[in-house]
Structures are given as C-alpha cells and as structure tokens.
Amino acid sequence: MRRGAVAAAGAAVLLLSGCSDPGTAPGPSNAPPTVTVTVPTAPPAAAAAVLGPTGPGTAKPCRGTAIAVGRDPQPVIDAAPEGTTFCFAKGVHRITRAIRPRQKDTLAGDPGAVLSGAIRLTGWARNGSVWSVQGVLPPAYPLKGQCEDNKTNPCQLGEQLFVDGNHLTRVMSRAQLKPGTFYGDYTANVVYVADDPTGHVVEMSRTRTAIEKSADGVTVTGLTIEHFASKPQGGAVQVGTGWKVTGNEVRRNHAVGIMVIEGDNAEVSRNTVADNGQLGIGQYKSAEVKITANLVTRNNTDGFWIADWESGGIKSTRSSGEVSGNDIVANLGIGMWSDIAEYDRRITGNRIRDNAADGIRYEISYAGVIDQNIVQHNGFGTGRGSGGTLWDGGGINVNTSSDVQVRGNLIQDNRNALSIQSRTRGDGPRGTYVLRNVLVEGNLVVMSEGTLGVVENKRSPAEDGAITFRRNRYQGADSFAYRGKTMTWSQWQQSGFDQDSVSS
C-alpha cells in the first residue's frame, strides 16, 4: 500500500456570516455563528505529540499499609479505616477473589508488584503426542460474546493459558492441537497442550476480577494487573464513581482490561492497557469520564469479532466525557468506538493507528466532537464482516448520529478515509437515531486508496442538508460517494460539498 505524503500548502481563510454555506448539500440548514476558519496547511498538534511514559513507572512511591506477597488482601483492607492507602509488596500476588476496596481507599504497588488471577499448573502427564493435567478447570458456566469464529466460539471461554508468560491460542478440540495452542475439555476437566511443559512455568487464568467497584472515590495506581479470566464485557479492573486509575499496566486478561461501570467522573490515565483478550478500556452508563494519556495496544488476543462486537481499543456506551491524548495502536478491532446513546462525547488529540477496523466509530449517538486526532492506517483487517466498502467503515465512521463535528483531524491512508452512514436504527433516549447535523470541517485528508463519502440504506436516506463538508484539504483523493454514486472531485463539489475546500 502506498503511503501518501502530508504536504503543506497555502491557507485559505473564510469568514462565515451568511445564512447559507457553500459546503453544505442542498437543502435547509441552521446557520452557524460567525467564526474564522482556515483550510489546514499542516497536521494537527497531536501528530508531533509524544505520549511519554505510561504504566507503573509513572506512579508515585507508595506509603501506607503493606500487603505482603502470599497474604489475602481483603482482611487487611477490612481491618483498616476507610481512606487507607494499601501498598502491595514487590512480587506476584495471586488473587483468588475480587478485591473490594472501601470509600476513598488507595490500592497501590511497590515497584514490581503484580496482581495475578492465574494459578500454576503442575502435574502434567504425557498422553500420546500431547500433555495433559486434570482437575483444574471450573465447572461449565453460561457463555456470551460474539467471536470471529462464530461456529465453535472459542472467545466465550475465559480460562487462558500462558507458558513462561506467553499467551497460548485456544482450540476447540484435541485434534486441533498444535504448537502454541491448548485445549480445555470442560466435560472431562482436562487441559491439553501440544508443547512439552517440562521446565516451563505454565499458568492458567482462573479468578474473574481483580478489583470490584465496591465503593466510590477509590484510587488504583502503580500495579501490574494480569491473567484474570474476566467475562466478555467484564473488566479485570471495575471502575466506579469518582475513581482514579492511573499509572498501571493492565494486560493479558481475557475480556476487558479496565471497565468503567456506572462510574461518573472517573479518571483513567497514564496506564498501559495491552494484550487483553477482548478490549482495552470499556465505559458503560458513566457520565463525564476522562480517559487520557493511555497506551492502548494489541488488544483482542482471544478472537472476538473484529468488525462489530466490542473488540479492539476503547469502547463506550450510554456515556459521556473525554477521550484525549491516548495512543490507540494496533488493536484487532475498532480503535475508539462510541456506540448507543452517547452524548456530549469529546474525542480529541488522540493518535489512532493501525487498528484492524475503524479508527474512530461514532454510532447511533448524539452531540459528539471528534477533533485534532491523528487517524492513520486503520481498517485493513480481514475476517467476518470486514470489507472494503464505505458500509464497512473507514478511518472515521459516523453512523446514524446527530450533531457530530469532525474537525481538524489528520485522516491518512486508511482503508477508506471517512464513512458517513445513514441506517434505520430505531429510537434512543434523545429521540430517533438519525443522521443529522454532521459537520466535517478543517480536516487534512490524505488518501492512497479507498473512498470518502455518504452511504444510505433505502429506508433511511440522508436528509438534504444533513451533512456539511467545508474547508477541508484533500491529497490524493479521487473517489467520493453520495446518493449511491461514485464521484470525482468535481462531481463531489457539484453535489454541494466542499466548495471552499482544496484538493491536490
């Protein structure tokens, strides 16, 4: 794939004051207030920004009540007054039940403190060409989640295997075993591996949750949290109201690394959230949450559906707040996804690169601002439901949402640059989900392939004037779409879009 260069050019400055706008498709629209806007000449500041360190190394030294390796932390927490700082000692703390902090407690770690949800597997026996151990699996339990493989659904089972810290891939029958894989027979309660475990540390994730949202105002900092068998859509760390989760590494858990659940005004910052089985960070029914300056990378290791089921970097539902200054990189799914009744969502100044599906998806939601982001090389994943049309998305995908501004972003060399979708999606808490009042302004769009434009299903055509493109700069763009037609740049402008924009 050819990577387009981002070239500077002269600025075009316009003063808006009339009741119509030359970049709006024909039809009635509400006039914006008078503002001065320029066609971009360079990428936004996020292109030059450096995230800097994340993870436990950024946390402050812990001073408080010590929790030694091998000690059950819950009795220590319960015996202390609320608002106590607890310092987990250096080493691996094997957590066998979820930790329940109290009001304004701090759970912190000395350098090298690890909370693990895994058990060691020993007593392996050779069984033909494979090795097995008995009696370590939990009883069968209800399954959920949509997997890339929707026939055998391997992603629904939570117990992962790690050999010397390396993640093995689950297969769904003994016959499928090969090097680097494992099979769990839940009926016989036997785990099989294809590689000789002799002399290696073999661990299986078993405990579902590291920390529960049992109280408000909790701080979690300076910890490595790994190998928890979290349920799909469930987090190894559950975040509640007013929590601060900062300077941790949350990695190699089965489902979501950090999950904000009804956690208004929580802050999630400076964490490394990597290699989790489904999703890096999730947010549900939580208002004014700040997710800032995190490294979110390589998530969806356990085969959740890439195109359309909460896999990848960050997903938020029925929530509001800010997602800013994060590096969201190389996740096997969507980079940043706002879905279902989001309101007053701000996605700003992030670097969103090399994710398998959309870089940013804003779906059946309201009042969102997507600005000053770097969105590069997204959407090239393959698999069930992945494709190359605008229906499959792009660098930025606005799907059946209202009052959305996409402004000041660098959108570069994605499978498709920008997909604006109008579908039939029903009603939400703020009215029918509909594509309306979408503004695409002041973006630098670099395309070496793919398309940019609007797609509609027959029952939900976009209203005239629903989408405005203005003052954008395009490089290499030669394929646009509107009203079911593929267009040249000239035809795109003739349709009413981007009349004050620049293409080269």
**pLDDT mean for each 10 residues of the chain (504 residues):** 41 33 46 64 94 98 98 98 98 98 98 98 96 96 95 97 97 97 97 97 98 98 98 97 98 98 98 98 98 98 95 98 98 98 97 98 97 97 90 94 97 97 94 96 96 94 94 96 95 96 96
Beta-bridge mates of residue 411: 375, 445
- Phi (first) and psi of residue 118, to 5 degrees: -105, 155
Q: Report CA 6 to chain centroid distance, whole Å.
A: 26
SS3 per-residue string spanning 268-331:
EECCEEECCCCEEEEEECCCCEEEECCEEECCCCCCECCCCCCCEEEEEECCCEEEECCEEECC
> Locate tokens 């969103």: which residue?
352
**Of 255, 361, 175, nearest in space to 237 by CA:** 255
Residues 6+ apart with CB under 8 A from 8: 41, 42
Separation of alpha carbons 21 and 30, rounded Å: 10
pLDDT of residue 6: 52
pLDDT of residue 394: 87
* H helix and E strand count, the chain: 2, 50
pLDDT of residue 225: 98
Long-range Cβ pairs for the range 140-147 (8 Å, 24+): 140/186, 140/187, 144/231, 144/232, 144/233, 145/232, 145/233, 145/255, 145/278, 145/304, 145/309, 146/304, 146/305, 146/308, 146/309, 147/303, 147/304, 147/305
pLDDT of residue 23: 52
Taking the CA atoms of residue 93, residue 97, residue 102 and residue 105 in that order, the dihedral angle to the nearest 10 degrees is 20
Distances (CA, A) of 276 to 229, 379, 453: 10, 20, 33
- Phi (first) and psi of residue 78, to 5 degrees: -65, -30
Stated pTM of the model: 0.93
